[in-house]
């Protein structure tokens, strides 16, 4: 049964950060990460009946993904995301009471324009609202004693047709949301970065981390039992084919089927260049099983040209999805017109955008009486705890089946966060975490994440982050 969406006021927003180190270097596209920073937000709301409460959200500050301009320093990239959060915070605080979805939808155009005036890309502009919107809904759910699943299926957020989504005019969001069926588990899709070791011979003894977690691809499969994999390519066709052949040599030893996705990270200039790469895969006998096991290819074309010309020459052989090109609320609509079949879900781009795009898939597939359009669940290195769980409940609600996971492989558990925070998450979500090697770490068994405990009060997480050791965010 649909509930009336509450109208709330945003009273305060407090933003913090923490530094973290990667246990292994992670390379995608032209960037190699060895450390980073995470944003953590708490947001206070007032309900119409006067009750007040806090909500929470966290997300990595992934500066070299939202805007890959090589002229930007690392600090400038992070400051772009901080500025996006600052502008969204000012707008939400100055606004009168609104529904949860109303805050996002009514401020969307102004946020994009304010960011553009400061030279920020639309993808960057989404970062600030993405955090605030999760914090708003989390606060409401904690006050009302509701889970994310129950609230979204009852449309407590108040999704409705709006001027920013004219293509969804007349769409029945109540019925769509009520029909979603989250599952108790889903497959974890392991990411293989461009410098990840594949077999033991790839590592000198001095290169080993030796922290009790798997390091090579072989070890990852043995430890977690993965059947789904996400493979990064770098844009050099010869090097990509050689790298994929070495990966295939590992994956092809698996008994039974496996499934792969290939992430181009904008490394090819156009569809023809990407197709040349795929034809090279077809010409390599060692890649036959990997090629047949590939579900789709993710954003191989640079965003400057990705939505400007048709891509049917490529999609005739494999589906294509957009990721970095998904900067605006109508990006998937424009991608569809060019021949793309899918789009990624990432909480850093905004969970309302993911829900809307999932609704578009249902609408378009019904019009064609076929399951042609789809969404994928991707990961911008979400970490154990709140960030991970908010992403998981979203993609599970949307029924996406498998989700890219890489944060647990490159960041060890709760990293340097207080042990009390890790213990609290383990106690509240023992199906998702385990105590291993003296640390609280993500639990993946048989390639799957067990998530029944995420059907809890709040936006997928019972505990709140520990703010005692966080640094206040300094806005640019």
Predicted confidence at residue 62, as pLDDT, reads 84
pLDDT tens digits, one per residue of 87-118 = 999 999 999 999 999 999 999 999 999 999 99
Percent of the chain at pLDDT > 90 equals 92
Q: What is the pLDDT of residue 165?
A: 98
Mean pLDDT of 282-310: 97
Residues 6+ apart with CB under 8 A from 253: none
Kindly state the average pLDDT of the residues 449-467. 97
- Residue 284 confidence (pLDDT): 98
CATH 3.90.870.10 fits 185-465, yes or no: no
- Which pLDDT score is estimated for 3? 65
Structural domain boundaries in the chain: 9-144, 185-465
The phi and psi torsions of 428 (rounded to 5 degrees) equal -80, -25
pLDDT of the residue at 1:
42
What's the token pair of residue 232?
């990064």
Using CB atoms within 10 Å of the CB of residue 450, give its burial: 0 to 12 exposed, 13 to 18 middle, 19+ buried. Answer: middle
Using CA atoms of 237, 242, 248, 249 in order, give the dihedral in degrees to the nearest 10.
170
Long-range contacts of 34-39 (CB under 8 A, 24+ apart): 36/60, 36/61, 36/62, 36/381, 37/61, 37/78, 38/383, 38/387, 39/15, 39/81, 39/82, 39/85, 39/131, 39/473
Confirm if 68 and 233 have CB atoms less than 8 A apart: no
Q: For residue 2, name the pLDDT band (cuts at 50, 70, 90).
A: low
pLDDT in tens, 115-137: 999 999 999 999 999 999 999 99
Residue (of 369, 354, 472) closest to 86 by Cα position: 472
pLDDT in tens, 397-427: 999 999 999 889 999 999 889 999 999 999 9
For 160-203, how does the pLDDT look when each residue is reduced to its tens digit (9 = 90+)? 999 999 999 999 999 999 999 999 999 999 999 999 999 999 99
Average pLDDT along the chain: 95
Which residues on neighbouring strands pair with residue 112, listed in sequence order? Answer: none
C-alpha span between 109 and 115 (Å, rounded): 10
Give the per-residue pLDDT at 379: 85
Start-end of H helices in 161-236: 173-178, 217-224
Distance, in Å, from the CA atom of 197 to the CA atom of 194, rounded to the nearest integer, reads 9
Average pLDDT over residues 242-246: 98
364-389: pLDDT as tens digits: 999 998 899 999 999 878 999 999 99
CA torsion 357-363-369-375 (nearest 10°) is 10
Domain spanning 9-144 has what CATH number?
3.30.390.10
């Amino acid at each position: 049964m649909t509930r009336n969406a509450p109208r709330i006021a945003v009273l305060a927003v407090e933003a913090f950060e923490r530094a973290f180190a990667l246990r292994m270097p992670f390379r995608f596209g032209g960037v190699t990460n060895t450390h980073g920073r995470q944003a953590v937000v708490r947001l206070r709301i007032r309900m119409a009946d006067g009750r007040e409460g806090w909500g929470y959200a966290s997300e990595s500050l992934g500066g070299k993904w939202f805007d890959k301009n090589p002229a930007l320093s690392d600090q400038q990239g992070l400051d772009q995301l901080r500025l996006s959060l600052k502008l969204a915070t000012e707008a939400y605080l100055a606004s009168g009471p609104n529904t949860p979805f109303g805050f996002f939808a009514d401020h969307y155009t102004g946020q994009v324009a304010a960011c553009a005036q400061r030279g920020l890309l639309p993808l960057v502009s989404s970062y600030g609202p993405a955090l605030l919107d999760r914090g708003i809904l989390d606060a409401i759910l904690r006050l009302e004693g509701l889970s994310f699943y129950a609230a979204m299926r009852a449309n407590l957020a108040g999704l409705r047709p709006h001027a920013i989504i004219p293509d969804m005019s007349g769409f029945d969001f109540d019925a769509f949301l009520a029909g979603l069926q989250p599952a108790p588990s889903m497959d974890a899709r392991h990411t293989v970065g461009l410098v990840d070791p594949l077999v033991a011979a790839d590592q000198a003894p001095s290169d080993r981390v030796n922290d009790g977690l798997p390091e090579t691809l072989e070890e990852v499969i043995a430890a977690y039992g993965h059947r789904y994999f996400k493979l990064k390519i770098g844009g050099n066709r010869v090097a990509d084919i050689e790298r994929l052949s070495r990966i295939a040599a590992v994956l092809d030893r698996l008994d039974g089927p496996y499934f792969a996705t290939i992430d181009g990270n904008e490394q090819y200039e156009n569809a023809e260049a990407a197709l040349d790469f795929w034809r090279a895969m077809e010409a390599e006998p060692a890649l036959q099983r990997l090629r047949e096991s590939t579900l789709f290819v993710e954003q191989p074309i640079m965003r400057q040209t990705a939505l400007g010309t048709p891509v049917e020459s490529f999609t005739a052989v494999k589906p294509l999805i957009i990721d970095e090109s998904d900067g605006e609320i109508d990006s998937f609509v424009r991608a569809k017109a060019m021949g793309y079949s899918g789009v990624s879900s990432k909480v850093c781009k905004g969970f309302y955008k993911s829900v809307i795009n999932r609704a578009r898939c249902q609408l378009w597939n019904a019009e064609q009486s076929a399951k042609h359009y789809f969404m994928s669940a991707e990961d911008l290195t979400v970490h154990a705890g709140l960030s991970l769980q908010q992403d998981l409940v979203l993609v599970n609600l949307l029924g996406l089946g498998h989700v890219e996971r890489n944060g647990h492989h490159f960041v060890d558990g709760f990293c340097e966060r207080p042990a009390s925070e890790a213990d609290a998450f383990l106690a509240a979500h023992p199906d998702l975490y385990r105590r291993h090697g003296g640390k609280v770490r993500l639990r993946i068994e048989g390639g799957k994440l067990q998530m029944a405990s995420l059907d809890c009060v709040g936006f997928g997480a019972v505990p709140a982050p520990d703010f005692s050791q966080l640094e206040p965010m300094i806005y640019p």
